[in-house]
Amino acid sequence: MKPYKTNPVIVERIWGGRRLCSYNKNVGDKGAGESWETVSPEGEIPVLIKLIDARETLSVQVHPDDKYAIRVENARNGKSEAWIVLECEEDSFIIYGFNRMIQKGELRELLKRGLISGVLNYVNVKKGDCIFVPAGTVHSIGSGVLAYEVQQPSDLTYRIYDWNRTDSCGKGRELHIDKALDAINYSSGLPCVFNVYDSLEDGIFNIIECEYFALSFRVINKGEYHFYEPGKFRAITAVSGNLLLQYEDFQLPMKKGDTCIIPEEYDREVRIKGLGAAEYIVTSGSN
């Protein structure tokens, strides 16, 4: 299988917005909001990649770890994930865990009384901030944030609070209180937030490497080339400027929001060429 550009799926969300004009041609003016989910038309890839544009704050949720997902959901795996803030407003935030130690019984009572927002840990963020969110961590992305998200390939999400939102019919979204309370890691610590613009060395910042994926941020200049050896899965996502992904005698133009896949089984070198100053994210699998 050769490198290819993905065909993103636009998913309307009750909380969303829109900022990636390269995708808007597929969306009507009345859409409530979107996330752009990278999908592979040529087979499975070992991660899921999303671009999330949050006009409103997302639901407060948790993802199960591998053991819980396999035991309770008969799933292949749970879901750990990571975010890079691509754009945000001055007062933007994420939610990560709790602002104090809390036990399962107390949390259940706070949820019944609608008081959970008082124990959530709010973290201010700025453009370039990177956050790893291990499975079992209560979390949310705040309003005004456009984020790149990479995660284990799973759709297991347990919502515990949705800010009392309702749809056009007055109906709230389903909550998953019992499973969420079981899946939460109550000993989870505070987030470690890195900013790519504070840490770039020679145009590259290796952000996260865990057992599920590795993530790096790269800057490239006009006429410059970056080279990638064969034998490893990589997803290349352009976040600013314009690029060319070149292989053999072919090239794939990339602009903001585009993702190209370099399959693990592709056995030749791949080049990234800058058509001007540009930034891109490289996500690879756990191998």
pLDDT band at 236 (very low <50, low <70, confident <90, very high): very high
> Each residue of 158-185: pLDDT tens digit?
999 999 998 888 888 899 999 999 999 9
Catalytic, 165? Answer: no
Mean pLDDT of 23-45: 41
Q: Residue 214 pairs with which residues in a beta bridge?
A: 209, 284
Q: What does the alpha-carbon distance between residue 34 and residue 57 come to, in Å, rounded to a whole number?
A: 13
Domains 4-195 and 201-285 are alike in CATH topology: yes
| pLDDT at residue 20 tops 70 | no
Q: Out of 71, 113, 159, 218, which one is annotated catalytic?
A: 159
| pLDDT at residue 41 tops 50 | no
pLDDT at 32: 32
pLDDT band at 25 (very low <50, low <70, confident <90, very high): very low
List the single range of 19-28, 158-167, 242-251, 252-261 with lowest mean pLDDT: 19-28
pLDDT at 262: 96
The CATH code for residues 4-195 is 2.60.120.10
Task: Spell out a b/e string for 251-283, using b for 16 or more CB atoms within 10 Å of the CB, else e.
Answer: ebebebbbbbbbbbebeeebebbbeeebbbbbb
pLDDT at 11: 65
**Closest Cα to residue 107, out of 96, 120, 95, 94?**
120
Q: What is the mean pLDDT of the chain?
A: 88
Where along the chain do its domains lie?
4-195, 201-285
pLDDT at 163: 94
Residue 130 has a CB neighbour count (10 Å cut-off) of: 23
Mean pLDDT of 121-142: 96
pLDDT at 167: 81
pTM strictly above 0.85: yes
Mean pLDDT of 263-275: 96
pLDDT band at 199 (very low <50, low <70, confident <90, very high): confident
| Cα–Cα distances in angstroms (integers) from residue 186 to residues 138, 155, 212, in the given order | 9, 22, 22
pLDDT band at 205 (very low <50, low <70, confident <90, very high): confident
Fold of 201-285: Jelly Rolls (2.60.120)
